[in-house]
Structure 1
Amino acid sequence: MSTFPENFLWGAATAPHQVEGGNVGSDMWRSEWAKNSRFAEPSGDACDHYHRYPEDIATLAGLGLNAYRFGVEWARIEPEEGYFSRAALDHYRRMVGTCLEHGVTPVVTYNHFSTPWWFAEAGGWTNPTAADRFARYAGRVTEHIGDLVPWVCTFNEPNVISLMVHLGIIPAASREDALGLAASRQPEDTGTAGAGAAWAAPAVEVMANAHRKAVEAIKSGPGNPAVGWTLALIDLQPADGGEQRWQAVRQAALLDWLHVSRDDDFIGVQTYTRERIGPDGVLPVPGGAPTTQTGWEVYPEALGHTVRLAAQHTGVPVLVTENGMATDDDDARITYTTAALEGLAGAIADGVDVRGYLHWTLLDNFEWTSGYQMTFGLVAVDRTTFARTVKPSARWLGKIARAGGPA
């Protein structure tokens, strides 16, 4: 399909805590092992991607995909405040180099929810020094890898708590069914469920300040990467009588955050489904509608809608940094993604500047409080041996990437 630009990024995404394993210095690790933890199971060794990334990147490239979004883990890089691990920084530089060796464009996320335990213990994003701490970290990472990285995402979905607060539900795009519980705990509540996790602040001003300071640090170089952040963009739709409530939620949980990106190089769009808003709040999934393992409505049309919304309200290029579905039916994954790409192609045909599509996720991984029950991956991972099995959906997406779009 000639709709997709010649240099379009076709790839997959992961998050460090969800795939690397052994992230013992992070707030998430502490929450997973806390008394009465809401996590179904601890992350443990995850997919051992920290050691097996050469195999995984080679697999991605061999499929025909040309981009890989992954995160660097703050808790590994700065395990104690002010101490930066050269070994950890070198590790991530090797990851970037491995991508480049395989002709894969690295898209690097600096913070994908998890933070160092010392940061969470100090109050996380509510601490007045949080933005400066994050900017210092972002600058140090950029000093080490910035010359090789063309795309940087400062934050992953900093608006998820805002979505929860304003919708009154756990946002679908966050894939985190106890996010609010974790966010509501104070750092000192170490004996309670979900304690200690420094989830993003619900106030857009707090996260926007940290984002802008990090952007300034990243832009100091070396290199000149395109910098933005990614947002959880649920396709919010008004039902009869719900227009006023829909407008208010949409403004606070989506548009206010999108406006921050007007000064960025791109906006990362992360979309999975829709939510319909009635006069009393979010409505249940329509009767008879298919749902995913997470209980969300199968609604691939959402992506085309949110990409248009993001472009309209930011005026900057769009990069789809996550889209996919949790299912053990790989044919259903292909059907969903086909429809999502049709919506994306329609947006591009109408003039929206979309630079890439990065599927969530490369590997069946640790899906936060759900543990390993939810399978979003293009590649299955044996929980005992870590053996990888490429799914038909991965080969299908690789074929599309090689062809430059759906036939």
Structure 2
Amino acid sequence: MMIDTGEKSMTSNQPTRRQVVAGAAGLAAAVSAAPARAFAPARQAPKGFLWGTAISAHQSEGGNTASDSWLLETIEPTAFTDPSGDACDSYHRYEEDLDIAKSLGLNCYRLGIEWARIEPAEGMFSEAALDHYARVLQACHARGLLPMVTYNHFTVPLWFAMRGGFEVADGADLFARFCGRATERLGPLVGMATTFNEANILGLRKVLPRFASDAAAEKARAMIAAAAKRTNSPQFSAMLFGDPDKINKVMLDAHAKGYAAIKAARADLPVGVTLSMQEIQGVGEGNLAREAEATMYSGWIEAARAASDFVGVQTYSRLRIGPQGLMPSEPGVPLTDMGYENYPSAIGHTLRYAAKHIGKPIYLTETGIGTTDDEVRIAFIKATMDEVSKCIDDGIEVKAYLYWSLLDNFEWTSGYAKKFGLVEVDRKTFKRTLKRSARYLGMRAKANRI
């Protein structure tokens, strides 16, 4: 069901620029009044360290009607708890979101550009959509926020899904064409770029199926079948629900070609890829940890070495692997609202893994926690920052801490029930309300202490 976006709710409840600035001033006062001991355990971050948040286009903008996900969310049956609908209305309210990021003392904003908006029909590129993203990037620079742009964050144009998506070999060429065209227009405004978000996500999915319910898997298959029937496209493929082996092969090609296309449009632009890098712990004799690791990365460690200027590490927890594969969470370890372990030390492990096995500059481009208890979120942020600090002390050059996410947004099949954001968003009015965790991250960023 669409969220009510009547004119009254769109205007009367949206803060004015003056109110946002006043809120930022109040936050600055709160930060300056914080006792020095609040930063005592932390070390000075390296020069040029990036402090920021990450967000995707589809999960925050709303109204992404030309995408594959929009159809899947609204069809029956569906694997999605909620449709994305208006999301956080960030397509229109991006300046407010950027004002918040600036008020927190952040200097980086990781965001996505939506392929389905830029190329809503095959070969037809929207100058209006490109102009919109140019304005967003200009707004980032105006606030001192380095824009780190993701070219694909799971969603694709509906026409692309209908022709087989990344299960069809020439899908790589179509993605590269999009990358090139977008960079020709937006390249001068992009600070850093990544081709794919969590490019190895389907490798991770192959490690996890034992804990996916049969009912959920059946619903997903029925959803894709319904989408294929609705669109009269028997090859219909969506990245998160398609054949992992077919998609992974084409995406590896798409990354290499996308990287080259972006570089051809702007040679000096740093281009990388972000990977889902969860800590894998072997449990017991004969455990399958090495096999699980190989499955999770599925060629992407080599791809990051071959065609990237940096790697984005994205870590949320650990996976315990025994002789039979994935094991349940360890008794006594607290769980997040997503059902996996609240295990911040995994970040230290994955940063070290990336340094050892990839050998490219490392950016922590995502870590976060799904919880309605903001004190738990603050503790998680502190613990993960401690892990980054230890890695830096050990000589690992970690260049960024980007928290997922600035806003409570659309969390894919979980809908709006799971809360990762530093900022609460009212589902009807879109009013943004800063949480204490936002202020905590802001204090650390303003002091540049990791």
Task: Give me the TM-score of the superposition, normalised by structure 1.
Answer: 0.93
Once the two structures are TM-superposed, the CA of residue 3 in structure 1 deviates from its matched residue by: 5.3
Q: Which residue type is aligned with residue 20 of structure 1?
A: E
Q: Which residue type is aligned with residue 61 of structure 2?
A: E
1:136 and 2:180 equivalent?
no
Q: Report if the CA contact (8 A) 2:78-2:223 is conserved.
A: no
Instruction: Kindly provide the CA deviation profile for residues 105-130 of structure 1, in whole angstroms up to 9, marking residues without a partner as x.
Output: 10000000000000000001011210
1:148 and 2:192 equivalent?
no
- Structure-2 residue corresponding to 1:174: none
Once the two structures are TM-superposed, the CA of residue 205 in structure 1 deviates from its matched residue by: 3.3
Q: Report if the CA contact (8 A) 1:146-1:223 is conserved.
A: no
1:198 and 2:239 equivalent?
yes
User: Aligned residues: percent identity?
Assistant: 47
Instruction: Kindly provide the CA deviation profile for residues 345-394 of structure 1, in whole angstroms up to 9, marking residues without a partner as x.
Output: 11111111211011000100000011100000000000010000011111
Q: Report if the CA contact (8 A) 1:147-1:223 is conserved.
A: no
Once the two structures are TM-superposed, the CA of residue 170 in structure 1 deviates from its matched residue by: 6.7
- Structure-2 residue corresponding to 1:188: 228
Larger Rg: 2
- Structure-2 residue corresponding to 1:58: 99
Measure the CA separation in 2 of the matches of 1:354 and 1:238. Answer: 26
Change in 2 beyond 3 A, CA 1:184/1:31: closer
Q: 1:336 aligns with which of 380, 385, 409?
A: 380
1:261 and 2:304 equivalent?
yes
Count residues with an aligned counterpart.
398
Once the two structures are TM-superposed, the CA of residue 300 in structure 1 deviates from its matched residue by: 0.4
Q: Report if the CA contact (8 A) 2:314-2:366 is conserved.
A: yes
Q: How does 1:285-364 map to 2 (within 5 A)?
A: 285-364=329-408
Once the two structures are TM-superposed, the CA of residue 254 in structure 1 deviates from its matched residue by: 2.4
Instruction: Kindly provide the CA deviation profile for residues 231-289 of structure 1, in whole angstroms up to 9, marking residues without a partner as x.
Output: 1111110001243x111110231273122111310011110001100111111111222
Change in 2 beyond 3 A, CA 1:201/1:357: farther
- Structure-1 residue corresponding to 2:431: 387
Q: Report if the CA contact (8 A) 2:206-2:295 is conserved.
A: no
Measure the CA separation in 2 of the matches of 1:380 and 1:207. Answer: 34
Q: Which residue type is aligned with residue 188 of structure 1?
A: A
Q: Which residue type is aligned with residue 313 of structure 2?
A: V
- Structure-2 residue corresponding to 1:368: 412
Once the two structures are TM-superposed, the CA of residue 169 in structure 1 deviates from its matched residue by: 4.4
SS in 1 for 2:299: helix
Q: Report if the CA contact (8 A) 1:311-1:352 is conserved.
A: yes
Measure the CA separation in 2 of the matches of 1:373 and 1:50. Answer: 21
Task: Give me the TM-score of the superposition, normalised by structure 2.
Answer: 0.84
Change in 2 beyond 3 A, CA 1:169/1:307: farther
Once the two structures are TM-superposed, the CA of residue 100 in structure 1 deviates from its matched residue by: 0.3
Measure the CA separation in 1 of the matches of 2:298 and 2:361. Answer: 16
Measure the CA separation in 2 of the matches of 1:168 and 1:320. Answer: 26
Once the two structures are TM-superposed, the CA of residue 40 in structure 1 deviates from its matched residue by: 0.6
Q: Report if the CA contact (8 A) 1:110-1:155 is conserved.
A: yes
Higher helix share: 2
Change in 2 beyond 3 A, CA 1:198/1:254: closer
Once the two structures are TM-superposed, the CA of residue 298 in structure 1 deviates from its matched residue by: 0.6
Change in 2 beyond 3 A, CA 1:183/1:95: farther
RMSD: 2.1
Change in 2 beyond 3 A, CA 1:141/1:339: same
Change in 2 beyond 3 A, CA 1:190/1:258: farther
Q: How does 1:62-141 map to 2 (within 5 A)?
A: 62-141=103-182
- Structure-2 residue corresponding to 1:210: 254
Measure the CA separation in 1 of the matches of 2:218 and 2:175. Answer: 21
Q: 1:42 aligns with which of 69, 72, 83?
A: 83
Q: Report if the CA contact (8 A) 1:161-1:179 is conserved.
A: no
Q: Report if the CA contact (8 A) 2:79-2:223 is conserved.
A: no
Q: Which residue type is aligned with residue 202 of structure 1?
A: P
